[in-house]
Structure 1
Amino acid sequence: MKEIETLWSEVRDLSLGYSGRVERVNSPLTPLQFLRDFVSQNKPCIISNAINHWPALSCWTDDTHLIRALSSVSVSLHLTPNGRADALAPFNPHHGFAFNSASSSSTEASTTAATSLCFASAHVERVPFPEALSLISSGSRDRASIPKFVAYAQQQNDCFRLEYSALASDCDPHIQWATEALGCLPEAVNLWIGNQHSETSFHKDHYENLYAVVTGEKHFLLLPPTDVHRLYIKEYPAANYSYSWVTGEFTLELENPIRYVPWCSVDPYPSPETKDDEMSKFPLYVNGPAPFECTIKAGEILYLPSMWFHHVRQSPDERGRTIAVNYWYDMQFDIKYAYFNFLQSLHYQSTLNSTLHEDSDSDADSGPYV
């Protein structure tokens, strides 16, 4: 169906462009501008100077303030062996799976025919906030070393208004112009505290997302909903990491009864050992239009439209942390949603040539393999 590949080009011709850059605006939008120019077009943008008034921009760079406000609070801390939670991981159905820091690289690279992929969720543990902050930072002090685990505060259950409510006065309870444009308050507000090892695999959300970075930087790869076939969504058995504080090892166990999760198969930053194999498996991603790339710096907001696929990495501040707050507004389940479901239901066989471009090796190590 050549028409699907034509669709990828048409959405870029008509709205998004081919530069790979996300449009920037230098001041908060009016509700009308936001609704007309971005929400109605399902088009991302970066807004600067929209949260300059937040106390968080200055006081969250001080651990004393954070620890004082949350000294008696326990928070949900997510632990993984490599920083990839809610992501695909190798699983050997015959021997189980053990993972420690010393074997992380070889384990990932040595997937055999007997090893399958599963959708792995993090080990989640409630810990006092001061301890959580220390554990997040301990994996950041030496970039060359491999930590025993990667700790990430990323509980996505309205955690900012629940677990971190003591910090509420440091940020706005909602983004005023977005609330007026969308006609509702946020369904959830979440706080994210991680380090440079934390990474979020390609996925989409059924929310209008306003993502505000307070410290450090977030690096996004974005693909519009029309490009759904390029992410090779398949169903994978759900599994959960369990971490032993005694042995320092992770085990990965399938859920019982078994449950399947539809998830994107593409890793845009494969290891050197697996790069050739990954590129050959996903020609639609490799040879199609380049994803949009953007870096959201402290003090900036990314508007991430509903159902856009996104992959996220981060660079920490001088203390080894990245902190962000995001506002999830309910999306409208309208004809756009119906169009997406219809497109996703189509069986699509690529007409693209899976042979890699001759110059692909020259820049593959510096960015996503497109």
Structure 2
Amino acid sequence: MCPEAMSTATKLAIENLWEEVRELSLGSTTYQIDHLTSPPTPLQFLRDYISPNKPCLISNSVNHWPALSRWSSTHYLKKTLSSSTVSVHLTPNGRADSLTPHRDNSSSLVFASAHVEKMPFPVALEMVSQSDTCSGKGSNCVAYLQEQNDCFRNEYFDLSQDCDDHIPWASEALGCLPEAVNLWIGNEFSVTSFHKDHYENLYAVISGEKHFVLLPPTDVHRMYIREYPSAQYHYSRDTGDFKLELKEPKRYVPWCSVDPYPSFEEKGRDMSRFPLYYKGPKPFEVTVKAGQVLYLPSMWFHHVSQRPDSRGLTVAVNYWYDMRFDIKYAYFNFLQSIKYSSRSDSPSHQQETLEQQEDDLDVISSVQNGAALEQLNDGEEEQFINRLPHPCDI
């Protein structure tokens, strides 16, 4: 079979897979996940959701948690954690661990990590509440309290008595206790870009709301996962300004290229650049309200935004349980390895692209260190700008 025919056959097979998964397991008419009005039994949870890798929303599962009433008081939070030092993630726009144009050339996207500082919890909470002007100098600054390293049982230990240390019916179904429990305190500006986790995730919202856009692992090609240079924000308290610097040594991060909510100006470009996302089946969407728990299965792609409570805060606790690296994981890796036949997928072209990205990063680094693009001649400068890494079509 010729390469062109193979590419067409592969594409059709993958698109049929998207539809079949929805028809046979997830539901293809409403694009809404199951909503359980009471917690499932361990057997029901294992049979109906864990085994088929299917998300669900559960109400009336954590009503007994003191957190639901106590954490509505900012005074209680500050008093309980008055002596605690916590990690604060700072960005100029609320988008940490996401794709951002590099400051030296807006056409070059990098994977940007937040600037992280340790500070007393009362101060940190005020920064979240005052985000968008938290620098006090008129420039944008968004603070998010989160540290994905079991922070609820470490930095926020004094609050841990207000929630169960695990979800009993989930622990029994999964056959283990959670590996990590994390606390999240943010505001309307904090957004988490599309990504997946290798955990079974039970996500409980305490105050405010979280909105999830979900795609199953079978839709991996629709995410346009690409390698992006890794960078990090650096924040100056003196000036209130952020600088985005490439990390050293150089490394690349595989990340989803799709933003489900592009700006009006970017929508047309993204629709042509990422046609598999926009022309494929609709994503699943769910809003998790205070007192509800979302079961987010392992390897599901998810984008998260939030609506705060009357204080301007959204607070949540999530439980990460180890996933089973079983046949489903093997199937996912096999599916992800399948490429459509095109020049951009050929090994020689990939090697050329990698080598060129290395050269381009050298130039960007030299610009950061004070060198100017004017040092390149006109032809070299134009070639460099045209080559700057950006998401590409399959």
Fold shared per TM-score above 0.5:
yes
Aligned to 1:273, the other structure's residue is in SS state helix
1:53 aligns with 64
Q: Is the 8 A contact 1:139 1:147 kept in 2?
A: no
Aligned to 2:190, the other structure's residue is in SS state coil
Q: Are positions 1:148 and 2:159 aligned together? A: no
Aligned to 2:264, the other structure's residue is in SS state coil
Aligned to 2:87, the other structure's residue is in SS state strand
1:105 aligns with none
1:44 aligns with 55
Q: Which aligned pairs between 1:325-344 and structure 2 lie closer than 5 A? A: 325-344=317-336
1:365 aligns with none
Q: Are positions 1:283 and 2:294 aligned together? A: no
Aligned to 2:265, the other structure's residue is in SS state coil
Deviation of 1:141 after TM superposition, in Å, equals 9.6
Q: Is the 8 A contact 1:229 1:348 kept in 2?
A: no
CA distance, structure 1, for counterparts of residue 341 and residue 116 of structure 2 = 39
Indicate how the Cα distance of structure 1 residues 195 and 74 shifts in structure 2: closer, same or farther if over 3 A, else same: same
1:254 aligns with 246
1:263 aligns with 255
Q: Which aligned pairs between 1:166-315 and structure 2 lie closer than 5 A? A: 166-315=158-307
The worse-fitting range, judged by mean Cα deviation, of 192-201 and 131-140 is: 131-140
Q: Are positions 1:66 and 2:77 aligned together? A: yes
Deviation of 1:139 after TM superposition, in Å, equals 2.1
Give % identity. 67
Q: 2:40 aligns with which of 11, 29, 33?
A: 29
Deviation of 1:140 after TM superposition, in Å, equals 7.1
Indicate how the Cα distance of structure 1 residues 127 and 230 shifts in structure 2: closer, same or farther if over 3 A, else same: same
2:19 aligns with 9
Deviations 1:57-111 (A, max 9, x none): 000000111111100111000000100000000115xx48xxxxxxxxxxxxxx3
In the TM superposition, structure 1's runs of 4+ consecutive aligned residues that sit over 3 Å from their partners are none
Q: Is the 8 A contact 1:79 1:149 kept in 2?
A: yes
CA distance, structure 2, for counterparts of residue 91 and residue 295 of structure 1 = 32
Q: Is the 8 A contact 1:140 1:320 kept in 2?
A: no
Deviations 1:115-147 (A, max 9, x none): 3111000000001000011000012799xxx96
Deviation of 1:29 after TM superposition, in Å, equals 1.0
Q: Partner letter of residue 113 of structure 2?
A: S
1:158 aligns with 150
Q: Is the 8 A contact 2:201 2:297 kept in 1?
A: yes
Deviations 1:295-348 (A, max 9, x none): 000000000000000000000000000000000000000000000000000003
1:362 aligns with none
* TM-score, normalising length: structure 2: 0.81
CA distance, structure 2, for counterparts of residue 272 and residue 222 of structure 1 = 22
Deviation of 1:248 after TM superposition, in Å, equals 1.3
CA distance, structure 2, for counterparts of residue 31 and residue 141 of structure 1 = 46
CA distance, structure 2, for counterparts of residue 160 and residue 53 of structure 1 = 18
Deviation of 1:148 after TM superposition, in Å, equals 2.0
The alignment of Structure 1 onto Structure 2 pairs a total of residues equal to 328
Indicate how the Cα distance of structure 1 residues 123 and 14 shifts in structure 2: closer, same or farther if over 3 A, else same: same
Q: Is the 8 A contact 1:140 1:195 kept in 2?
A: no
Aligned to 1:274, the other structure's residue is in SS state helix
* TM-score, normalising length: structure 1: 0.87
1:360 aligns with none
CA distance, structure 2, for counterparts of residue 129 and residue 266 of structure 1 = 34
Deviations 1:250-301 (A, max 9, x none): 1001111101110000011111121111111000000000000000000000
Q: Partner letter of residue 329 of structure 2?
A: Y
Indicate how the Cα distance of structure 1 residues 171 and 250 shifts in structure 2: closer, same or farther if over 3 A, else same: same
1:359 aligns with none
Q: Which aligned pairs between 1:326-365 and structure 2 lie closer than 5 A? A: 326-348=318-340
Deviations 1:30-77 (A, max 9, x none): 100100000001000000000000000000000111111100111000
Q: Partner letter of residue 9 of structure 1?
A: E
Indicate how the Cα distance of structure 1 residues 119 and 173 shifts in structure 2: closer, same or farther if over 3 A, else same: same
1:120 aligns with 112
2:86 aligns with 75
Q: Which has the larger radius of gyration?
A: 2
Aligned to 1:67, the other structure's residue is in SS state helix
Q: Is the 8 A contact 1:8 1:227 kept in 2?
A: yes
Q: Is the 8 A contact 1:82 1:149 kept in 2?
A: yes
CA distance, structure 1, for counterparts of residue 341 and residue 183 of structure 2 = 40
Indicate how the Cα distance of structure 1 residues 170 and 141 shifts in structure 2: closer, same or farther if over 3 A, else same: farther
Q: Partner letter of residue 304 of structure 1?
A: L
RMSD: 1.5
CA distance, structure 1, for counterparts of residue 14 and residue 341 of structure 2 = 10
